[in-house]
Amino acid sequence: MGITKNHIFDDYQNETASITKVLGHPARIAILQYISENEYCNCNDLVKATGLAQPTISQHLSEIKRIKLLKQKSKGKNTFYTIDVDLLNQYRRKINDFFVKLQVSCQNKS
C-alpha cells in the first residue's frame, strides 16, 4: 500500500475518514448491528451470528475499537462488547454535518 498523507488534511477530515473507514466494511456493519441488538455480547456470539471465523471477528473488532466505538468489560477470560452510545451520537452528528455541508455547497453552486 502507498503511504498515507494524513498530515496534509485537517483533524475534521481525518476523523471523518476514520469513522467512515470503519463503517466501510459489511462485516463491521453486521457486527455493530448485532451488538446494538444484543448488549454485552462476546466474540463467540459474533462468530455464531455472522458465520465469520473468530480471527476475522477479532480483526474487525480491533478496527471498531480503534475509533473507540465499543465499550468492553471482562468476565473471566471473556470480553463482552457494547456500543458507546454517547460516542455513537457524536459520530452520527459528525457524519450528518458532513453530508449537510456537502449538500449546501452543491445547492449554492446551482
pTM: 0.87
Structure-block grid coordinates of residue 23: 463503517
Range of the structural domain that residue 41 is part of:
6-109
Q: In the chain, pLDDT over 90 holds for what percent of residues?
A: 89
Instruction: Work out the average pLDDT over 8-36.
Output: 95
We report the CATH number of the domain holding residue 74 as 1.10.10.10
Helices 54-66 & 43-50 angle (0-180, nearest 10): 110
pLDDT at residue 23, rounded to an integer:
95
1 domain residue, yes or no = no
pLDDT in tens, 42-55: 999 999 999 999 99
Query: Number of structural domains, the chain?
Result: 1
